[in-house]
Amino acid sequence: MGKKPAPRRVAENEAFAVGRMIRVSPQKLNLVAQSIRGKKVQAALDELAFSKKRIAQDVRKTLQSAIANAENNHSLDVDDLVVAQAYVGKNLVMKRWRPRARGRVGRILKPFSQITIVVREVEEAA
């Protein structure tokens, strides 16, 4: 008698994962996301493993989660997966204050971001 299953948000040959509350600005996170768009997943994992950006490890965890979702939940072949989309969004912003001269205050903004990675199974053209 339960609820009907929700319709899929992506196509049958796609899977996705979302990394939330990543402590970096969306602009910096988008630079890392840009480096993996359109690549095969193994090449994207290698790119993130050897990136000098601090946030690359969080993006790598999200990509590995998307790959695991594709393999376990949707029975897609891992060797044929490519990063179809990787897009970044804003999350909350912590506001902190720093005392300044003459009774004034300096505002410090500590932004959080989220990243959505969509992987797609593509057939090899032999």
Assign residue 71 the CATH number of its domain. 3.90.470.10
Residue 111 lies in a domain: yes
Residue 44 lies in a domain: yes
Looking at residues 45-59, what average pLDDT do you find? Answer: 97
Domains: count for the chain: 1
Looking at residues 58-64, what average pLDDT do you find? Answer: 98
Q: pTM of the entire structure?
A: 0.91
Report how far apart, in Å, the C-alpha atoms of 20 and of each of 29, 62, 68 are: 12, 9, 17
Q: State yes or no: pLDDT of 125 exceeds 80.
A: no
pLDDT of residue 123: 84
Looking at residues 106-112, what average pLDDT do you find? Answer: 98
Q: Which domain holds residue 39?
A: 14-121
Q: State yes or no: pLDDT of 126 exceeds 70.
A: no
**CA–CA separation, 44 vs 7, rounded Å?**
29
Residue 63 lies in a domain: yes
Residue 57 lies in a domain: yes
Among 21, 2, 104, CA closest to 61: 21
Write 73-78 long-range contacts (CB < 8 A, 24+): 73/15, 74/12, 74/14, 74/15, 76/13, 76/15, 76/119, 76/121, 77/121, 78/41
The rounded percent of the chain whose pLDDT value lies above 70 is 98
DSSP 80: G
pLDDT digits (tens, 9 = 90+) for 20-29: 999 999 999 9
Looking at residues 95-101, what average pLDDT do you find? Answer: 98
- Of 85 and 5, the structure prediction assigns the larger pLDDT to 85
